[in-house]
Every structure is written in structure tokens, then in C-alpha cells.
Chain A
Amino acid sequence: MTLIDLHDGDELMMVDRPRRRRIAAFPYLMLAPAFLLIAGVSFLPIGYAIVQSFFRSSNLNLGRLVGWQNYGDFFLTRNGLGAVANSLIFVAGTLAIAVPLGFALALALNRPMPLRGLIRTLLILPWLVSNLVGALLWGWLGNPQYGLAPYVLEKIGVGFPNIITDPGAAMASVVVASAWAATPLVMVFVLAALQTVPIDLIEAARIDGASPWQRFWSITLPLVRNTTMVALVLTSLHAFKSVEIVLVMTGGGPNGATETMALKVFKEAFTLLRLGVGSAGAVAIFLINVMFTMAFVRVLRTEHGA
């Protein structure tokens, strides 16, 4: 117990100081193991990657300090800017398919229908399947030599572009595979949000005279917008850093047409063993994702404050 003399007053206050300090330390002590674990597998590698991005190194050791040169190399050599463009197309394409499709499926599944539970479960499956497996399946499905899609479509007289040699078709195929994997997440998010829209509001709007489209546009959509935005952000973050779909289906080809930033990081680091350049790319992806998330959180906050 300590006596504290308050200089600006005559009162004496008794504060049990040591005890307080112990209580304050307790939560940190309890959190420490989890924090250390996360630090070990997450913060440390990120930190090391940031450091390594300024060194020329071909293995885990830091080599020569080269400053920003790795960043220059990543973006300006070996189709660097092309990879940036490809990433944008890949993410935008994934969103353009996954968000409307996920939303539509959620709307459909929000209505009473027979076998709804089963259909929901089946539609969530693509999300449960590993991206790698999904990519293999889509790759086989569209393979020009033995794929089912080209075979069937050519049989019925409709051509199917070669997803290995045609740059546009290759990009389309990886976008479709990525959207296929991402749609269930959007669907689950939107469906959960739709179920929180009170039925009273829809009924009030019906009585107010709103058509089904007006009810959707003016009532349902604004109420699920934030959740949809969260799904959209998660999907884009995931697509932006995803490697396996492009790696398995096209390997970035033909001629770099589907090489995204994430794939370029993988190639620089593990194929070309330019770990410094790879780290620079990884750091860039990380920073872009952080900035994107922060901007999004700010948008959401402003709206909540309104």
C-alpha cells in the first residue's frame, strides 16, 4: 500500500499499487503463448521478408544489401508490369463472377424450397475443396487434349478455345476456376446477411406499395451491403495472393499471359532462387492488401458514423 501526496490538493489518496500492476500484467501473460506462436509463424517471416527484400540473396541468408533494386527488378524485369496487370484482371474477373453469382445463389437459397439444406451444402463444397484440387479439376475439364468441355462442345459443333495456347482463354479459365472457388464464400456471407433482414421490413415495404424489385433495391440490398462488401474484400484479398490455381492450370503461360504477381513471387523465389526479388514482390502484395483493407475499414466506419 502506498500513500500518494497529491501536490495540488491536501487530500491523501491510498492506492494499492503493486497489486494493480500484477492484475494489469495478467492478461498479457495469458495471451503471451498465442502471441509468441503467431509471432513465430507470421510476424517473424513477414519481418524477415521485408528485410530480405532489400538484400540480394539466393537462400535464407541475407546476401549483399541492394536497397530498392529488388523492387525495381520485380516490377520492371521479366514481365513485372504484365504480372501487375494480370493480377488486376484476375482479381477483378474473380469478383465480377463470384460476387453476382454468390449473391444470386444466396437470394435463391433464402427462399423456402425443397432440399434446401442439401443444396446449400453442395454449393458450399467448392469452398471446402482445396484450391489445388479445384485447379486440377478445372484444368482437366478444359484440357485441349483430353478435357471433357472441349470434347463435348466440339462434338455438338461449338468450338472451344485452347486454354493452354490462347492467352485470352487461359486467363478466362483461371478466372473461372478462381471464381468457382470463391463463390461459396460470397454466398454464405450474403445468405447469413439476408437471414438477418427482418421480415417485417419487407412486409412494411409491400404494404407501402414497393414492387419486388423496389423491395430488393431499396430495402434488402442496403441492409446486406456491408456484409457483401466484407465478402468482396475477403475474396479480392484471397484472389490477389493466390498462387495455386494459376500455377497448376497454366503455370503462368502462355508466355506470361496469366502470370500474376503472386505467381511471379513464387517463381522468383523458388524457381529462379532470387529470394530478395521474390520477397520484394511479396512485400508489395502485402502492402497493397493492407492498404486496401484499411481503405475499406475506413469506408465502413464512415458509414456507421452516419
Chain B
Amino acid sequence: MSVAVGLSRVRKTFDSTEVIHGISLDIAHGEFVVLVGPSGCGKSTLLRMIAGLEDVTAGEIAIDGAVVNEVDPADRDIAMVFQNYALYPHMTVRQNLDFGLKVRGVAAQTVDRRLADVSQILGLVGLLNRYPRQLSGGQRQRVAMGRAMVRNPRVFLFDEPLSNLDAKLRVQMRVELKTLHRRLENTAIYVTHDQVEAMTMADRIVVMRAGRIEQIGAPLELYDRPATLFVAQFIGLPTMNVFRGKARPNGGSFCMETEDGTHLLLPADARVEDGQPIIVGVRPEHLRVASEGMHCEIELTEPLGREVLLYGKIGGSPICVAPGDRLLIAAGAHIDLAYRPEDACVFDAATEKNLRHDAH
């Protein structure tokens, strides 16, 4: 893997508060990496440090092997798409697109050719003489993309670029961005707090929490084998169901006993000890209605069309079931739920780390 962007023990301090606590990460050429995490986790700060808009307090940031800590944003050969697009309001679409080329003194012929290419790809041809205020949200988004593309940078940086769009447009732009990336094959670092965006667009997801990397991996890897409870609950919608209790011997292996006496089966590879406080996580789609299992009263149903989600409680814990179908179960119904032990995650209650053998 040839590294396009390398972070090595990167730290950032604002005043006396450290917000990024020594992050190391290598991003390969052509890779689409998504930094995801709740607000305040430091993902935008990290992106801005890569862009050169924030100083690096300690550690090194390298682009194509060259350390760029002291390099001006203009000379890093990167392009950034901002959350609110940051289009120059007093310039037409054309001027917005070619500003970055003109200030760099690119020859007029080249500017025209690149502008034609980009506006063709993004469907901006008819909009070139309009001002940003005369464009719709989606069109503005495309102009912001175009401004980044026209310079053909080594690295694209995206700072929550879709969060100002309405839900439908967001899905559409998500697909467009992914298609575009497949076509251009540029390295892209994308920041979002939306795990769906992360899951759908990323080659690799970096889950961040409180200035640290919680886990790095391919979308389905994170989904199936979350390293921590935080990742397990952050990735996936509806959220993973969790049950708290203590590990108890169960024949040759272990199960978990909750406070109200419910027993939950654990996967065979869970490394637990008798009496250890643990958390069992089961994805909503892994819970299925069974003739015998954990007793549950359904409190609410949520018809999504393709399926009807069921919400209720097992013991004291709120749960969600995604049966993948429209089950004829109404609120108030009492049902039994079961899952295959190998689908469950087991976390240490204290460290919140995944205790399964194959977890990262």
C-alpha cells in the first residue's frame, strides 16, 4: 500500500485542552476514508489539520511521504469541500470554479479545458454564469465539488458536505459522490457524524471518540466485529441492543445472567470468566421471534414499509427487533425472542472492549 496521507502521533491542543490525543493513521492512494464520530470527537479538527487550516501541536502529517506540518494549505495540493459549501457569493459559478486555477497562474487554455471537463461531469454546463444564490442546494453542492475537482488535487477533503441537504438529496448526492470517486480514483478523506454516510461511502471507516481512534476498518467489518461497545452502538441503525449482566458457566461454555434472572447465550469464543460483569450486544436483525426464548412485551411498532420494527423491553432493557418482514404483531403483544449466539457481541462492562476471539 502506498501511503497518500500519513498521520503519526498527531496531537492538537487548544489553549491548554488537548482535543486530539496522538492519532496515527495511514491512508492509501485512491482510498475513500471516512472519519466518523459524534460531534466534538475531533474529526473536523483532524481534517482541518490535514488541510493546514489548524496547526499541529505535536506529531507529523505527511502527504505523499513529505511532512507538511509547516506547509501552507495552498501548497499541500489538497482541495476541501466545506459543510456550507463556502462558495464565493459575489462570483459566478464559472469564477468560483476557476478561481483556484487563476490565482495559481494556470494558463487560460488549461483553465478552459479543465472547466469544461468538470462542468460536463457535474452537469454544471448550463449554470456557469449564475451566482451561487441562484442555485439550489444540490447545485451548490456540485459547484463546491467542482471547485475541488477542477484543480485535480492529490487529496480531497470533505467536511460534512451533505449535512445541509434534505434527506432525499443527501441520498442522491451520496451516490453521485461515490460514483465520482470511483471514476476519479483520488484519495478522499470524508468527515461526517452520520454513520449511514460512513457505511455507504467508505472503503475504510475511522470511528473517533473524544479525540482518539476507536476503531479502523471496512464498513461491514466494523458492523460485524466492533472492537468496542461505542463502535457497536454508533454503527448500525437501529442501534444494537445491549443487555447487562454477569458471566455464568453454562455447561461447557458461558452464558450471561441479567439482574432480573434472564439468561442470554454467549458465543463459544467469548473470553469471559465466571462472575465477570459483561455486556451482550445483539443487532436488531439478529433477534427473531421464537416459540421459546427471552420474554418480551412489544410496546411500539414502527412500520417502515419493507419491514415493521418492533420496540419493547426484555427484563428492564429496551430492545428493538428488525424482523426483515411485516410481522403481524401489534403493540401490547407478548412474544419470545431468540438469537444465534454466534451473532452476538460480548463486551467487558468495565473496559467496554469486545471479548470475542475474532474481534479486533
User: What residues of chain A have their CB less than 8 Å away from a CB belonging to chain B?
Assistant: 198, 200-201, 203-211, 214, 218-219, 222-223, 306
Q: Does B311 contact A (CB under 8 A)?
A: no
A200 proximity list for chain B (CB < 8 A): 82, 84, 86
Task: Give the Cβ gap from A100 to chain B, nearest Cβ, in Å.
Answer: 21
Q: Which of B72, B73, B75 has the most CB of A within 10 A?
A: B73
* A207-B51, A208-B103 known; A223 vs B89 contact (CB < 8 Å): yes
* A203-B53, A218-B99, A222-B90 known; A208 vs B82 contact (CB < 8 Å): no
Q: Are B82 and A204 interface neighbours, CB within 8 A?
A: yes
Q: Are A209 and B53 interface neighbours, CB within 8 A?
A: no
- Name which residue of chain B comes closest to A198, CB basis: B86
Q: Does B272 contact A (CB under 8 A)?
A: no
Q: Does B278 contact A (CB under 8 A)?
A: no
- Name which residue of chain B comes closest to A211, CB basis: B103
Q: Which of B52, B72, B86, B104 has the most CB of A within 10 A?
A: B86
Q: Does B298 contact A (CB under 8 A)?
A: no
Q: Are A207 and B90 interface neighbours, CB within 8 A?
A: no
A-B contact pairs, 17 of them (CB 8 A): A198-B84, A198-B86, A201-B89, A203-B51, A203-B73, A206-B52, A206-B72, A206-B74, A207-B78, A207-B79, A207-B80, A208-B74, A208-B103, A208-B151, A209-B74, A210-B99, A223-B89
A306 proximity list for chain B (CB < 8 A): 131
B79 proximity list for chain A (CB < 8 A): 207
B78 proximity list for chain A (CB < 8 A): 207
* A198-B86, A201-B86, A204-B86 known; A210 vs B51 contact (CB < 8 Å): no
Q: Does B147 contact A (CB under 8 A)?
A: yes
Q: Are A210 and B74 interface neighbours, CB within 8 A?
A: yes
Q: Does B22 contact A (CB under 8 A)?
A: no
Q: Does B100 contact A (CB under 8 A)?
A: yes
* A214-B103, A222-B90, A223-B90 known; A207 vs B84 contact (CB < 8 Å): no
Q: Are A209 and B86 interface neighbours, CB within 8 A?
A: no
B99 proximity list for chain A (CB < 8 A): 205, 208, 210, 218
CB-CB contacts below 8 Å: B70-116 with A: 72-75, 78-80, 82, 84, 86, 88-90, 99-100, 103-104
A211 proximity list for chain B (CB < 8 A): 74, 103
B86 proximity list for chain A (CB < 8 A): 198, 200-201, 203-204
Cβ 8 A contact of B53, one of A206, A218, A219, A222:
A206
B72 proximity list for chain A (CB < 8 A): 206
Roughly how many angstroms separate A207 CA and B72 CA in the complex, as a whole number? Answer: 8
- B interface size (C-beta, 8 A): 23
A223 proximity list for chain B (CB < 8 A): 89-90
* A222-B90, A223-B89 known; A208 vs B100 contact (CB < 8 Å): yes
Roughly how many angstroms separate A219 CA and B52 CA in the complex, as a whole number? Answer: 20
Roughly how many angstroms separate A93 CA and B164 CA in the complex, as a whole number? Answer: 48
Q: Are B90 and A209 interface neighbours, CB within 8 A?
A: no
Binary contact track B51-72/A, C-beta < 8 Å → 1, others 0: 1110000000000000000001
Q: Are A209 and B84 interface neighbours, CB within 8 A?
A: no
Roughly how many angstroms separate A163 CA and B84 CA in the complex, as a whole number? Answer: 56
Roughly how many angstroms separate A305 CA and B314 CA in the complex, as a whole number? Answer: 63
A210 proximity list for chain B (CB < 8 A): 74, 99, 103
Task: Give the Cβ gap from B278 to chain A, nearest Cβ, in Å.
Answer: 46
B52 proximity list for chain A (CB < 8 A): 206-207
Task: Give the Cβ gap from B191 to chain A, nearest Cβ, in Å.
Answer: 14
- Name which residue of chain B comes closest to A209, CB basis: B74
A198-B86, A214-B103, A218-B99 given; 7 more Cβ-contact pairs under 8 Å: A200-B86, A201-B86, A203-B82, A206-B74, A208-B99, A208-B100, A210-B103
- Name which residue of chain B comes closest to A215, CB basis: B103
Roughly how many angstroms separate A209 CA and B150 CA in the complex, as a whole number? Answer: 13
* A200-B84, A214-B103 known; A207 vs B73 contact (CB < 8 Å): yes
Roughly how many angstroms separate A75 CA and B131 CA in the complex, as a whole number? Answer: 48
Cβ 8 A contact of B74, one of A207, A218, A222:
A207
Task: Give the Cβ gap from B179 to chain A, nearest Cβ, in Å.
Answer: 24
Roughly how many angstroms separate A223 CA and B89 CA in the complex, as a whole number? Answer: 8
Task: Give the Cβ gap from B141 to chain A, nearest Cβ, in Å.
Answer: 14
Roughly how many angstroms separate A218 CA and B73 CA in the complex, as a whole number? Answer: 18
Roughly how many angstroms separate A64 CA and B75 CA in the complex, as a whole number? Answer: 78
Roughly how many angstroms separate A44 CA and B79 CA in the complex, as a whole number? Answer: 62
Task: Give the Cβ gap from A260 to chain B, nearest Cβ, in Å.
Answer: 37
Roughly how many angstroms separate A203 CA and B51 CA in the complex, as a whole number? Answer: 10
B73 proximity list for chain A (CB < 8 A): 203, 206-207
Roughly how many angstroms separate A70 CA and B131 CA in the complex, as a whole number? Answer: 52
Roughly how many angstroms separate A203 CA and B80 CA in the complex, as a whole number? Answer: 9
Task: Give the Cβ gap from A304 to chain B, nearest Cβ, in Å.
Answer: 10
